[in-house]
Amino acid sequence: MTAYTATVTVRLKRGVLDPEAETTQQALERLGFELSDLRSADVFELDLDADSADEAGERAEEMTERLLANPTIHDYDVEVAQRE
């Protein structure tokens, strides 16, 4: 078994309203910053032991589909790296 960290990024799908991001953008603009768009995403770093990077990625994907993301409104991607 090797120690891996799977980094799962969960984003809202295009077209899904994100009032939190909109509010954050407006607040930055009120502070005098100029920006054309702001998107927010959630990242989960999962430390897990697995026999291979592929297995770690599959398990992380399963956890994402079961709990971390809502497939109706979210897209996600999973990156796996070996952990020291």
Chain residues in the site for a second copy (CB under 8 A): 3, 9, 21, 24, 27-28, 31, 33-49, 59, 62-63, 66-68
| CB closer to a second copy out of 33 and 72 | 33
Complex with a second copy: residue 1 or 72, whichever CB lies closer: 1
Task: Return the number of the residue (26 or 72) whose C-beta is nearest a second copy.
Answer: 26
Residue 52, amino acid:
S
Angstrom distance (rounded) from CA 74 to CA 36: 22
CB of 81 to a second copy, least distance (A): 14
Calpha distance 79→56 (Å, rounded) = 10
Identify whether the C-beta of residue 27 lies closer than 8 Å to the C-beta of residue 44: no
